[in-house]
Structure 1
Amino acid sequence: MAGLAWQEQKSVLALCLLQALFFVGLNLVNLFIAPSILGAVEDRVPLEGVLGTIAFFVLALLVLNILKTWVATNTLFGRIAVRLKILAEINKKFARTSYPNTEDPAVLKKRDKAGEAVGGNSQATEAVWDTLAELLQSTAGFVIYLLLLSALDPVLIVITAVTTLAGYFAGKRINGWGWRHREEEAQYIHKLNYVGVKADDRALAKDVRIFGMRGWLEEIHQKYDRLYQDFIGRRERVYLWADVVDVLMTLLRNGAAYAYLLGITLTQGLTAAEFLLYFTAVGGFTAWVTGILSGFTTLYKQSLDISTVREFLELQEPFRFEDGEALEPEADKPYEIELKDVRFRYPGAEADTLKGINLKIRAGEKLAVVGLNGAGKTTLIKLICGFYDPTEGEVLMNGENIKRWNRRDYYRHFSAVFQSFSILAGTLAENIAQTDEGIDPHRLDGCVRKAGLAEKLQALPRGAETHIGKEVYEDGVELSGGEKQRLMLARALYKDAPVIVLDEPTAALDPLAESELYQKYNELTEGRTSVYISHRLASTQFCDRIVYLEDGKIMEEGTHRELLGRNGAYARLFELQSRYYRKGGVPDAETVSP
């Protein structure tokens, strides 16, 4: 943290030191102000001298308080900047990490813990500076007060130190109850937050109303709120004993100090000013000792939280990125993709999802991958796109294993539209270009026109600068399902990558709309290597080759006509779907031109 602050905001470290110095200075002024004025009165100093002493201390308090307030205000900017830098690094890490990490529960837990450490001003990555400042001021104050009390009997220092340590460690043990039961508390908080988020989720608003879920959600929230309140009650009853111990130790320490100083006053003639100074110093010495112990305890806890940030940021990547070979996409270059003896099993699964896949996608070929749900179609696409590495076998591009390249460079070779696609609360142009800088308007217009969105674009109030969605912008517009699909087509065209992948992006559309959109893709991706996934077999008849997956294996492959002629699994499924659509009043799928 110190190294990061030195690199990003050097003022953070300097202001920590100044914060400690001004705090100790204020404490010393407050320590000496009453004894000094009392001593002046005892020595019969003229009124002007007493008033001068008072004025001196008032001025000192004023100046130190001004400086302390200035430091406290200005140190926030640097500290927040450092915390936001860490937050940016966490977000950057997760946005750029290998795709399998985004699905790994262990990685997600590490990300959540790292996020908690930067979640606000009171979290470790910002609060640590207050802890360091407090440790500095406690250490300086301890040394100064120890020198002051060294003029007295060492027994008094021992009594003060022992009672302080006893009270601190007893209180720490008792107050540690909350730390030892933090998982129980986190469970209640997590469930309360979950219910709150779901009840407020716009996507669930229709379900909440149509199924009358409000009362049920309130009942669940109240249930966990009662459990959490019960936990708080148990915790506070335990913490009460820490207060009792603190009161007893304070009584013992102050009683011993008072008795000792009173004895010296009666036997050695200690002045009232000296009595007040030393008695106040005993209390201050206790506070400094407690401050040092508490500071190191807090620093230890904060260091654990900060370690979770480092653990996430230094997470090992299964893919090669900057250390891999560069791979520049070339629009006119043919790209052939091959899967050789590929098997894939998800982490923790008992069986392989893909089993012995051998598939070559020739340059410029349009390949359809079809099959029932769970056959492994999407997993196959993720392997082709480089989101996963196979458990066994290898994925090749133009005869070279994709593991050798910078994986981000490999991604640049693909334009893909997936089942779950991202539409952000930005402008139409930004959603198509996937950037807010350097958007080519002529290229954008061409992609919009080719995707069949030109009429919609003309109807938008601000054209391509119209905001999409109402989550952020009040003037945002909502697109229909078909319009969103065409937006995805325009995005794929704008990227202009040499390989096109469609992973059932039209599953929410009716068969005719899907067939029409797939024909659009067919026209606009002519000459490029393309892979289409659909569970509706009629939609992919235009492809050069169709691969039928079943139970993670390639059961059949060929053209649409060839597969129908074999009268196998593909033909039976095609006939079943055709019969279903005919009964529903949809034209016979077999009448669609091959």
Structure 2
Amino acid sequence: MKQSQKPTYNTLQNVGYMLGLSRRHYPSIPYLCLAMAAVTAGGSIAQLLIVPAVLRQVEVHAPLASLVTAIVFFGAVLFLLYGLKAYLKEVVSTSRGNLRLLMVTKISDKMARTSFPNTLDTEFENRVERALVSCQSPASPTEAVWATLTDILTNLIGFGVYLALLSGLHPLLLAVVAVTTLAGYLFSHRINQWVYQHRKEEDTYQGRLNYLLRTSTDRSYAKDIRIFGLKPWMDAVWSKVMRLYQDYLRQRQLHYLWIDVIDLVLTVARDGIAYAYLIWLALTEGLPASQFLLYFSAVSGFTQWVAGILDKISELHRQSLELSLFRETLDWPETFRFEDGKPLPSTPDMPCEIRFDHVSYRYPEAEQDTLHDICLTIHAGEKLAIVGLNGAGKTTLVRLACGFLDPTQGRVLLNGQDIRQYNRRDYYALFSAVFQDFSMLEASVAENVAQRVEGIDTDRVRQCLDQAGLTEMVRSLPQGLDTKLGRKVHEDGTELSGGQTQRLMLARALYKNGPVLVLDEPTAALDPIAEDDIYQKYNRMTAGRTSLFISHRLASTRFCDRILFIEHGRITEQGTHESLLAAGGGYAGLFAVQSKYYQEGDSEDEQAI
């Protein structure tokens, strides 16, 4: 799905979508909005009538009791309406906020459950980000749309009542009011369109400023800023962007100034004509002062109702564009089969043979394949190592094996069956994996290992931590397994080192206990000895289980049944560690370079000692 100029859903469809969503989850919202509109319009109408009504009592020399009764009556009505309005505002804001949070959950769920290739699509990521922005606060379209609909209803009610009050005046006066109101609206609408069309320019400036602010205050950048003296450079970039942003703001304010000037001119013209006409009626036909005040206030109020209807309909259209984008994000097509796929039950001891049948893969918009014509069988229970230089295609091969990607050409088969027929989430359940980029959550140690909040087997958690070499570290933590990790959510959280985090991820993979184990360079932060120790532990713990190991340190994978050496997206060598060394090919050459590096490093360390 590519972004188009015309939204997929129009305003009426989006209003219908919001009403349907409300009906299923918070059915009171539309009725609360209708009640809020009636109460708000009623308050404005009562305010319009109170002064002319009291003045009329004075004009007819009504008894004091009648005058006081009229004042008390209107005061009580206003008190009741404003009190009811305040109550409804609190009730409806809670329901609208809950519905908005539900919509945030929908977008989050879409991002968390979508086909993995979508996460690599820049356009999809931009859509998700914009959809989340449309839900981030009460002023965002997904919640503000209810206020807009309420305002439209309020203005329609007020328009109807005021039109009835002014029906006794000359039609020409109403025509003047309508024409000046429409002219003012069209002019302001045109200028507001300029502002709306340039919103991306403002978003760009704000995005750059926010990035600079985050970077300058983020602790992870603190060392680089100081070591490389980045502050003057960041100040210069900030100043440049700020100048451009201020130029844009000056242009925007100039446009808003024109709106104010035109509105002032039209208001003076309209009120002047209304004054003149009503004064003429007072002088020639004896129009009472109370009716003069009522009509003149109604003329001004009528203008506001008409302008309010036009303005809120325009605002509803703008909000509809964001709602359409929100819905288009939820509708984003899935490349994998999920609930409509064939179920795939699994057990920890399930034999899994994965075969690549002439598999090629090319990333979107890439000029050449990352992997080309791979024919490979990973036998059930085999320990397979995949090695090669950076960019050779190792991680892409693992992504294909794990079902994160589908081949551009060829097939990936599980026990002889194309994995595309299965529910992809069932297929994911086969794998316990640790990848290069970690996903440690701001939660307790136990929750990170078990990846759940309830039903945690603490004995098993301890066993997995021990196998990963973290028992002593966890014992030293303030609350043991219950210690919170990270400080973005928990002020008293503990931060782990890179090596400790990698070991924690290994413990997590052990806890899941899937029939296929995948380690995609998970030990980069460990020294060679610690890495070898981890891999040897995996060798013992994964006996009889299909295992894939990726490491840039070739010596770490000597225990594997078979080693693949990948160059330029192709398998150029395969065999045991000894057979590949004996062959004297690319693997042997790379191993010799690494061995020399470690030998030289050890020699230098000894000399230093």
Provide the rounded CA distance (Å) in 1 between the counterparts of 2:487 and 2:41.
Answer: 53
Deviations 1:5-59 (A, max 9, x none): 1111122111101111111111111111111111111111111211111111111
Confirm or deny that 1:335 pairs with 2:352.
yes
Tell me the amino acid that sits aligned with residue 266 of structure 2. Answer: M
Corresponding residue of 1:301: 318
Corresponding residue of 1:251: 268
Corresponding residue of 2:535: 518
Deviations 1:181-238 (A, max 9, x none): 1121111111111111111222212212222323332332232122212211111112
Look up the SS of the partner of 1:316 in the other structure: coil
Q: How does 1:42-57 map to 2 (within 5 A)?
A: 42-57=59-74
Confirm or deny that 1:541 pairs with 2:558.
yes
- Is contact 1:371-1:550 (8 Å) kept? yes
Provide the rounded CA distance (Å) in 2 between the counterparts of 1:254 and 1:185.
Answer: 37
Provide the rounded CA distance (Å) in 1 between the counterparts of 2:113 and 2:574.
Answer: 36
Provide the rounded CA distance (Å) in 1 between the counterparts of 2:65 and 2:498.
Answer: 87
Deviation at 1:308, TM superposition (A): 1.0
Range with greater deviation from structure 2 (519-528 or 398-407): 519-528
Look up the SS of the partner of 1:38 in the other structure: helix
Deviation at 1:328, TM superposition (A): 1.2
Corresponding residue of 2:51: 34
Corresponding residue of 1:132: 149
Tell me the amino acid that sits aligned with residue 155 of structure 1. Answer: L
1:167 aligned to 181, 184, 190, which one?
A: 184
Aligned pair count reads 587
Look up the SS of the partner of 2:602 in the other structure: coil
- Is contact 2:555-2:591 (8 Å) kept? yes
Provide the rounded CA distance (Å) in 2 between the counterparts of 1:200 and 1:481.
Answer: 22
Corresponding residue of 1:429: 446
Q: How does 1:101-112 map to 2 (within 5 A)?
A: 101-112=118-129
Look up the SS of the partner of 1:320 in the other structure: coil
Corresponding residue of 1:188: 205
- Is contact 2:499-2:525 (8 Å) kept? no
Provide the rounded CA distance (Å) in 1 between the counterparts of 2:42 and 2:326.
Answer: 35
Deviation at 1:481, TM superposition (A): 3.2
Confirm or deny that 1:576 pairs with 2:576.
no
Deviation at 1:586, TM superposition (A): 6.9
Look up the SS of the partner of 1:176 in the other structure: helix
- Is contact 1:369-1:531 (8 Å) kept? yes
Confirm or deny that 1:115 pairs with 2:129.
no
Provide the rounded CA distance (Å) in 2 between the counterparts of 1:375 and 1:226.
Answer: 45
- Is contact 1:175-1:242 (8 Å) kept? no
Corresponding residue of 1:590: none
What is the TM-score with the length of structure 2 in the denominator? 0.94
Corresponding residue of 2:501: 484
- Is contact 1:417-1:501 (8 Å) kept? yes
1:235 aligned to 252, 255, 276, which one?
A: 252
Range with greater deviation from structure 2 (304-313 or 175-184): 175-184
Corresponding residue of 1:311: 328
Deviation at 1:432, TM superposition (A): 0.5
Corresponding residue of 1:363: 380
Provide the rounded CA distance (Å) in 2 between the counterparts of 1:431 and 1:180.
Answer: 45
Q: How does 1:156-555 map to 2 (within 5 A)?
A: 156-555=173-572
Tell me the amino acid that sits aligned with residue 485 of structure 1. Answer: Q
Corresponding residue of 1:591: none
Look up the SS of the partner of 2:360 in the other structure: strand
Tell me the amino acid that sits aligned with residue 585 of structure 1. Answer: D
What is the TM-score with the length of structure 1 in the denominator? 0.97
Corresponding residue of 1:15: 32
Gaps of 5+ in 2: 1-17, 605-609
- Is contact 2:384-2:561 (8 Å) kept? yes
- Is contact 2:432-2:517 (8 Å) kept? yes
Tell me the amino acid that sits aligned with residue 31 of structure 2. Answer: A
Provide the rounded CA distance (Å) in 2 between the counterparts of 1:514 and 1:586.
Answer: 20
Gaps of 5+ in 1: 588-594
Provide the rounded CA distance (Å) in 2 between the counterparts of 1:425 and 1:168.
Answer: 51
Range with greater deviation from structure 2 (513-522 or 161-170): 513-522
Deviation at 1:568, TM superposition (A): 1.2
Deviations 1:266-321 (A, max 9, x none): 22111111111111111111111101101110000001111111011111100111
Deviations 1:412-461 (A, max 9, x none): 00000111111122111011101111001221122122222222222222
Corresponding residue of 2:165: 148
Provide the rounded CA distance (Å) in 1 between the counterparts of 2:138 and 2:497.
Answer: 42
Corresponding residue of 1:25: 42
Provide the rounded CA distance (Å) in 2 between the counterparts of 1:586 and 1:147.
Answer: 99
- Is contact 1:489-1:521 (8 Å) kept? no
Tell me the amino acid that sits aligned with residue 475 of structure 1. Answer: D
Corresponding residue of 1:562: 579
Structure 1 residues 474 and 24: alpha-carbon distance in aligned structure 2, compared to 1, 3 A threshold:
closer
Look up the SS of the partner of 1:235 in the other structure: helix
User: RMSD between aligned alpha carbons?
Assistant: 1.3
Range with greater deviation from structure 2 (68-77 or 577-586): 577-586
Provide the rounded CA distance (Å) in 1 between the counterparts of 2:228 and 2:558.
Answer: 41
Deviations 1:68-123 (A, max 9, x none): 11111221100100000000111111011111111110101110110111011111
Range with greater deviation from structure 2 (128-137 or 514-523): 514-523
Tell me the amino acid that sits aligned with residue 404 of structure 1. Answer: Q
Matched residues, percent identical?
Answer: 51
2:90 aligned to 64, 73, 79, which one?
A: 73
- Is contact 1:342-1:357 (8 Å) kept? yes
Provide the rounded CA distance (Å) in 2 between the counterparts of 1:402 and 1:578.
Answer: 40
Look up the SS of the partner of 2:366 in the other structure: coil
Provide the rounded CA distance (Å) in 2 between the counterparts of 1:331 and 1:148.
Answer: 79
Provide the rounded CA distance (Å) in 2 between the counterparts of 1:472 and 1:71.
Answer: 34
- Is contact 1:35-1:277 (8 Å) kept? yes
Deviations 1:542-577 (A, max 9, x none): 100011100000001111111111111111111121
